Amino acid sequence: MDEKSRRYKKNKILDNIFPAEYDFKKMLEEQAESTQAGVGTFVFWLKNVPLKDPAHIDKMAEEVDELRHRMEKQMIEAFSTPFDRQDMYTLSRHMDYILNHSKETAREMYSYGVEPDKSIIEIADELFRGTGFMVDAVRAMNGDKANFDDFIRKARKSMHKIEDLYISGMAILLHTDDAMNAFRKGEIYHHLRDVGRALRRAVDLLHKAFMGMN
């Protein structure tokens, strides 16, 4: 066996012992982008009344689930990851919750016959905006820290606005005379708040992971 063949064989053995690092940052970016696209689809669906069966949102959520499962599998196989596996796993899970809660909100609105009001639309728009800042932050992980921090601040500003919109919307809802409508819409408001809280946890974990890398 010549020297070149010996080196090749040695490298193959080492590759099996220490698998090449996957591009986890790219995977997170892909999941974040797909999550925002799913939230955007949800917002577009909300603004087209009468509301239609949101089966296409279910399909998008399933596709994003597949991205997460693929990354989890590769995390198990990888010898090293750019940041803590648990942080990466939990971050990916909360990105998944953003779209899953959006999907469940759409299904309940359609099933309960709830039409979107001004507060629902405003909260959904802010969720889309905040998710966009999360995507920007993921993309900036390899770039300038100042840009990353700016996107995190903007995402958190969106989350504070979601809470304000939720409270003001509920205040209006609870002062109406139609108790059944208030009950049905209140459920939708709660679900939208859950989307916002999943976004908050994802952004906090993203910030934690980034700080651990620097």
Rounded to an integer, what distance in angstroms lies between the CA atom of residue 113 and that of residue 49? 11
Residue 214 pLDDT: 62
Q: What's the CATH number of domain 21-213, 3.90.226.10, 3.10.20.10, 1.20.58.220, 1.10.3720.10?
A: 1.20.58.220
Residue 81 pLDDT: 59
Contact indicator for 41, 105 with CB cutoff of 8 Å: no
Give, for all 214 residues of the chain, the pLDDT tens digit: 555 455 444 444 434 444 556 677 888 888 999 999 999 999 999 999 999 999 999 888 888 888 777 877 776 665 555 566 677 788 888 999 999 999 999 999 999 999 999 999 999 999 999 999 999 999 998 777 789 999 999 999 999 999 999 999 999 999 989 999 899 999 999 999 999 999 999 999 999 888 776 6
Residue 11 pLDDT: 44
Query: Collapsing DSSP states into helix, strand and coil, what is residue 52?
Result: coil
Rounded to an integer, what distance in angstroms lies between the CA atom of residue 25 and that of residue 141? 8
Q: Name the DSSP letter for residue 116.
A: P
Rounded to an integer, what distance in angstroms lies between the CA atom of residue 133 and that of residue 121? 19
Residue 7 pLDDT: 46
